[in-house]
Amino acid sequence: MKLFSYFRSSAAYRVRIALNLKGIAYETAPVHLVKDGGHNKRPEFRAINPQMRVPVLVTSAGDILIQSLAIIEYLDETRPSPALLPKDPIARAKVRALAELIACDIHPLNNTSPLRYLKNEMSQEQAAIDTWYHHWVLAGFEALEALLKPSPYACGSQVTLADVCLVPQVYNARRLKVPLEKFPKIVGVDSACLALPAFAQARPENQPDAE
């Protein structure tokens, strides 16, 4: 398999974790999202993914998959062990809810594209952009902290899709200096996950394109 990735992309980070948890070997194809206005906007990458975003997973059969949650669910369905979604429908819905709280509510507001739009099209100063970023992370983390029941992972004793989404978001929060003192459960889950090799190996600084 080939993963088009950017070392700091939290969406690509999620897929790297899932691939590692499943023990799937893959080739990394770096796509720099910042240099030269973004290599993701080059025609050759746009031909692969018209949305011009990472991650993109190319399967061994040559199928092209986009969107991190769709990719991870594909991996979970085709490589069922270890399972990232519980079999019980209620438990599965709860895991998906936590994952989507992060991937659908927090992350899109703080992704590269909206932040660039705030700066370049709306002429916002960096301080205002940072305030925007912190606001949406803190709002999301307040809800997430209330919903978590770590023991030691987000939804119990087994790693799930919720953990796969949480760890990259915490990494981004720390990188952008979002205060985490009010979120001991989130910090605890992050620490428990990072003790696992699959999570540690997926960290941005451990990627071939890390700067």
pLDDT at position 149, please? 87
- Single out the residue in 45, 64, 82 at which a domain terminates: 82
Single-letter amino acid, residue 118: L
Residue 31 phi, psi (nearest 5): -130, 105
Q: Verify that 63 and 106 share a domain, yes or no.
A: no
Give the length of the chain: 211
Per the domain annotation, does 205 fall within a domain?
no
pLDDT computed for residue 116 by the predictor: 86
Provide the pLDDT for residue 111.
87
Q: In what order do the strands lie in the sheet with 56-58?
A: 27-30, 2-5, 56-58, 64-66
What pLDDT was estimated at residue 112? Answer: 85
In this structure, the answer to whether residues 45 and 113 fall within a common structural domain is no
The pTM is what?
Answer: 0.96
In a domain, 208, yes or no: no
The CATH number assigned to the domain holding 77 equals 3.40.30.10
In a domain, 155, yes or no: yes
- Alpha carbons within 13 angstroms on the beta-carbon side of residue 85 total 21
Same domain assignment for residues 75 and 109: no
> 33 lies in a domain?
yes
pLDDT of residue 40: 96
Domain count for the chain: 2
Q: Are strands 27-30 and 56-58 parallel, antiparallel or unpaired?
A: unpaired
| End residue of a domain, out of 39, 55, 82 | 82
Residues 95 and 62 in one domain: no
**E strand residue ranges, the chain:** 2-5, 27-30, 56-58, 64-66
Token pair of 157 as six digits: 């004793």
Are residues 143 and 54 part of one domain? Answer: no
Distance CA 39, CA 47 (A): 12
Asked whether residue 75 falls in the same domain as residue 111, the answer is: no
Same domain, 76 and 93: no
Q: Do residue 53 and residue 123 come from a single domain?
A: no
Boundary-marking domain end, from 53, 82, 111: 82
Q: What is the pLDDT along the chain (211 residues), one digit of tens a residue?
A: 999 999 999 999 999 999 999 999 999 999 999 999 899 999 999 999 999 999 999 999 999 999 999 999 999 999 999 999 999 999 999 999 999 999 999 999 988 888 989 998 999 999 999 999 999 999 999 999 999 988 999 999 999 999 999 999 999 999 999 999 999 999 999 999 999 999 999 999 999 999 8
> Do residues 95 and 189 share a domain?
yes
